[in-house]
């Protein structure tokens, strides 16, 4: 296991190989978190966030990219301002990710739906407790709907997108905090 190198808000490759990120754009990063792996001659070497690395993953090197020692792996941002383009309102984008809050992100480009069908209650609302693997939204791509599931349990802190909004792969959709 290697610790990533740091440089002006960015994290760099600690060795050479093929980069495979384990997080998505919008995910919080804290010291010791698994960032991804670098494959070297068939071996997978884990890369962790080093001491002092805190923020939100704003930009990531492409999965499957060849990296050299010191190559840029990801850029950290203090909040969601650099991540989301047109989604959410200005106050949501300008706020920093609260302590203990994690991000559920879109797993593909498409149109997000927060309800199973028109007129139905939303999958999640702010303040609701969600279980691990619970559906929090659907993303439609070419008339095919794919569920977005919570990778962890917790309380919905904020829903960052609107019904029928276009989203991009890795865009933050929902903030989940620890159970009270």
pLDDT digit string, tens, across residues 113-142: 999 999 999 999 999 999 999 999 999 999
Q: Which pLDDT does position 17 carry in this prediction?
A: 93
- What band does 54 get if pLDDT is binned at 50, 70 and 90? confident
More reliable by pLDDT, 9 or 35: 35
Q: Has residue 9 got a pLDDT over 60? A: yes
pLDDT of residue 95: 46
Alpha-carbon dihedral angle through residues 92, 97, 103, 107, given to the nearest 10 degrees: 60
Q: Is the pLDDT of residue 89 over 50?
A: no
| Mean per-residue pLDDT, 8-18 | 86
pLDDT in tens, 134-177: 999 999 999 999 999 998 899 998 898 889 998 888 888 999 98
Residue 130 or residue 57, greater confidence: 130
pLDDT score of 79 more than 60: no
Distances (CA, A) of 8 to 25, 52, 56, 72: 18, 11, 14, 11
Strands 34-40 and 43-48: antiparallel
pLDDT over 80 (residue 180): no
pLDDT at 145: 93
Q: Walk me through the domains of the chain, giving residue ranges and CATH numbers.
A: 2-77 (2.40.50.100), 90-177 (2.40.50.100)
Q: Are strands 102-105 and 172-177 parallel, antiparallel or unpaired?
A: antiparallel
| Structure-block tokens of residue 22 | 């384990």
Asked whether residue 90 carries a pLDDT value surpassing 50, the answer given is no
The share of the chain scoring above pLDDT 70, in percent, equals: 88
């Amino acid at each position: 296991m290697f610790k990533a190198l740091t440089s002006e808000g960015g994290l760099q490759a600690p060795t050479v190989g093929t980069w495979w990120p384990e997080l998505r754009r919008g995910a919080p990063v804290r010291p010791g978190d698994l960032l991804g792996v670098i494959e070297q001659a068939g071996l997978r070497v884990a890369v962790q966030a080093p001491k002092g690395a805190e923020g939100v993953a704003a930009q990531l090197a492409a999965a499957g990219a060849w990296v050299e020692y010191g190559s840029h792996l990801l850029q950290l941002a203090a909040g969601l301002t650099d991540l989301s383009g047109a989604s959410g309102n200005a106050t949501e984008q300008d706020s920093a990710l609260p302590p203990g809050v994690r991000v559920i992100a879109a797993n593909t480009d498409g149109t997000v739906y927060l309800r199973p069908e028109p007129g139905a209650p939303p999958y999640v609302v702010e303040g609701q407790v969600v279980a691990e693997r619970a559906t929090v939204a659907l993303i439609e791509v070419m008339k095919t709907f794919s569920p977005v599931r919570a990778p962890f349990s917790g309380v919905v802190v904020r829903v960052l997108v609107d019904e029928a909004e276009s989203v991009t792969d890795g865009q933050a959709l929902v903030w989940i905090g620890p159970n009270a």
